[in-house]
A and B are shown apart, each in its own frame.
Chain A
Amino acid sequence: DGGITQSPKYLFRKEGQNVTLSCEQNLNHDAMYWYRQDPGQGLRLIYYSQIVNDFQKGDIAEGYSVSREKKESFPLTVTSAQKNPTAFYLCASTPGGQGGSSGNTIYFGEGSWLTVV
């Protein structure tokens, strides 16, 4: 089945450590996104990528880094510079292309919980 796979589902990080969250899609989508969600809050955009080897900062990119070396993969690294990393992280993708219709539906992964210990 096609979809987005995020791993791990639960991750614990020690103070000062970098951790990487994986996001893989087999939908052949061009665009991929990372969001952060804090308890009781909406989704905030961290980074997004419209094409391989290109990505842009979202609204809360500080303390995070990404790469897009392959179309199907968009890993997110939470660096030690991120002071409050404990949150729920969601990866999403869209097909891209012209205009609207069902080709613009946004697909989400099941999310990853990151906790600082």
Chain B
Amino acid sequence: DAKTTQPPSMDCAEGRAANLPCNHSTISGNEYVYWYRQIHSQGPQYIIHGLKNNETNEMASLIITEDRKSSTLILPHATLRDTAVYYCIVRVLGAGGTSYGKLTFGQGTILTVHP
């Protein structure tokens, strides 16, 4: 399984951009990078995903390096409600190119947004 490495914690001032890095140096060519976040005692919430191009949605932007070995999740204007654990995962593909298979989460990054 391709593994991810994230810093254990980060701080960000309210209203500023939060940039959360993730290393996935063993990623395969057909594996996607997904970002989720989890607020205490709730199920993780989907944020964004991408393959090799940068992606943007209403929640965040995802920047993937050209060699695909790392990525950065950007929350452009962080609010106090963005305080959560952020998980970067790589989607493992099963046999035959299907999208089945293990889903492995790392420890994630605890993002704390302060006033």
Q: How many A-B residue pairs have CB under 8 A?
A: 78
B102: chain A residues within 8 A (beta carbon): 45, 48, 56, 58
Bound CA span A4–B91, Å: 20
Known A96-B98, A97-B99, A104-B99: A111·B41 in contact at CB below 8 Å: yes
Known A50-B94, A97-B98, A111-B42: A42·B103 in contact at CB below 8 Å: no
CB<8 Å pairs between A and B, sample of 28: A4-B43, A33-B103, A42-B85, A42-B107, A42-B108, A43-B105, A44-B105, A45-B102, A48-B102, A50-B100, A58-B102, A59-B104, A94-B99, A94-B103, A96-B100, A98-B98, A99-B97, A99-B99, A100-B51, A104-B32, A104-B34, A104-B91, A104-B99, A106-B103, A108-B44, A109-B43, A110-B43, A113-B41
Total chain B interface residues with beta-carbon distance under 8 A: 28
Interface size class of A (residues with CB under 8 A): 35 or more
A31: chain B residues within 8 A (beta carbon): 100
- Within the complex, the shortest CB–CB distance from B62 to chain A, in Å, comes to 13
**Residues of A that sit less than 8 Å from B by CB:** 4, 30-31, 33, 35, 41-45, 48, 50-51, 56, 58-59, 88, 90, 92, 94-100, 103-111, 113
Known A35-B105, A50-B94: A106·B99 in contact at CB below 8 Å: no
